[in-house]
Amino acid sequence: MPPEAAIAPLGRPARDDTSPSQADLWLARLQRDGYCIIRGLVGNDLVAGLSADLAERFERTPFCEGVFYGGRTKRFGGVLKRSGFAEAFVRHPLILDIVQAVLGPYCDRFQLNLTQALEIYPGQDAQPPHRDQDMWGGAKGEMEYLVNVMWPLGPYRRDNGATVIYPQSHNGGSGAGDPIFAEMDAGDVLLFLGSTLHGGGGNSAERPRTGMIVSYSLGWLKPYENQWLVYPPEVARTFSPELARLVGYQQHRPNLGNYEGRCPSVLLTGEPVDFLGAVDELLPRQAEALQAKRAAAAGAQVGAPPAGVR
């Protein structure tokens, strides 16, 4: 089946259209097939700006080692600190709406799992198909752990390593059959679930395939790329508050990911922080449940006979 026929997008959304109905449409496609491709979501100016910022690092980065990363592939992370254009991709409102709809039911907030620029060079063979959710040891099939977003920075074609996707292989599905090759141009974007079987394609062409993967995971998971090390406070301080929260400078209620019992965003003020004192950060229902337990324990104590009296 030709890739376009397999993909058959629901419609070409207007550039930067963030209306909920657009998110719902793409969400339905993503949940039905395990992936979707949105055409022309960002403009050439953004792609050109990001590509220019990353060019020298691609040049200087050595080829990867290992069957998974690929010996004829170059990869580097931390894209948000390497280009001011990256935030527009990472925080694209339509993407965030879709991610929230997929992951929101299973966490207080989702987090950035990874930004990775990658270039598949001629001679690279196809990456072994895999499901990204398998990096985490928890039970599978009950929830999605991750949403992957692949932004091409140039043409993705079958012959130069377009991402290979197994439609309907998500959520415990075995896949409907033949894979599709996610052929795209710069400005398009491919979304696929953490439970979707996929892999980088082999490159038998004469030109590399260049792109950026951004992924988002449940906020209570350990991210693939250690965001706090990649973006330590002195780096995250230069980010917008929303971006800083996305990379981990925010607690996942109750109190998960704290610094000295406080939201780690205390480290972004530039002021010295010491002797803070821990402060609960709970969801309302968590606070209510704790209050109820406390009240029940106090009631039990009031009603209990004094020690030693039968």
Ligand X SMILES: O=C(O)CCC(=O)C(=O)O
The residues of the shown chain that bind ligand X, judged by CB under 6 A, are 118, 127, 150, 163, 198-200
Work out how close the CB of 9 gets to ligand X at its nearest, in angstroms, rounded to a whole number. Answer: 19
Handedness of CA 12, 44, 154, 223 (dihedral sign): negative
Beta bridge partners of 210: 119
Contact 146, 194 (CB under 8 A): yes
Nearer to ligand X, 167 or 199 (CB): 199
Work out how close the CB of 42 gets to ligand X at its nearest, in angstroms, rounded to a whole number. Answer: 18
Work out how close the CB of 211 gets to ligand X at its nearest, in angstroms, rounded to a whole number. Answer: 7
Nearer to ligand X, 200 or 208 (CB): 200
For 70, 118, 166, 202, the CA distances from 181, given in Å and listed in that order, are 18, 17, 9, 11
Work out how close the CB of 26 gets to ligand X at its nearest, in angstroms, rounded to a whole number. Answer: 19
Which two three-digit tokens encode residue 226? 């250690």
Work out how close the CB of 160 gets to ligand X at its nearest, in angstroms, rounded to a whole number. Answer: 11
Cα–Cα dist 35/26, whole Å? 9
Nearer to ligand X, 167 or 200 (CB): 200
Work out how close the CB of 143 gets to ligand X at its nearest, in angstroms, rounded to a whole number. Answer: 20
Quote the distance between the C-alpha of residue 255 and its chain's center.
22
Which two three-digit tokens encode residue 151? 């932004």
Which two three-digit tokens encode residue 31? 């949940």
Nearer to ligand X, 83 or 210 (CB): 210
Cα–Cα–Cα angle for 289, 290, 291, nearest 5°? 90
Nearer to ligand X, 199 or 248 (CB): 199
Which two three-digit tokens encode residue 29? 């496609």
Q: What are phi and psi of 188, to 5 degrees?
A: -80, 170
Q: How many CA atoms lie within 13 A of 85 on its CB side?
A: 16
Nearer to ligand X, 22 or 127 (CB): 127
Nearer to ligand X, 95 or 118 (CB): 118
Nearer to ligand X, 68 or 84 (CB): 68
Work out how close the CB of 134 gets to ligand X at its nearest, in angstroms, rounded to a whole number. Answer: 11
Work out how close the CB of 127 gets to ligand X at its nearest, in angstroms, rounded to a whole number. Answer: 6
Handedness of CA 240, 246, 248, 250 (dihedral sign): positive
Beta bridge partners of 112: 216
For the sheet with 189-193, list strands across it: 35-38, 189-193, 146-152, 209-218, 110-120, 73-77
Which residue, among 279, 284, 216, has the nearest Cα to 248 in the 3D structure?
216
Nearer to ligand X, 194 or 233 (CB): 194
Q: Give the three-state DSSP class for 249.
A: coil
Work out how close the CB of 150 gets to ligand X at its nearest, in angstroms, rounded to a whole number. Answer: 6
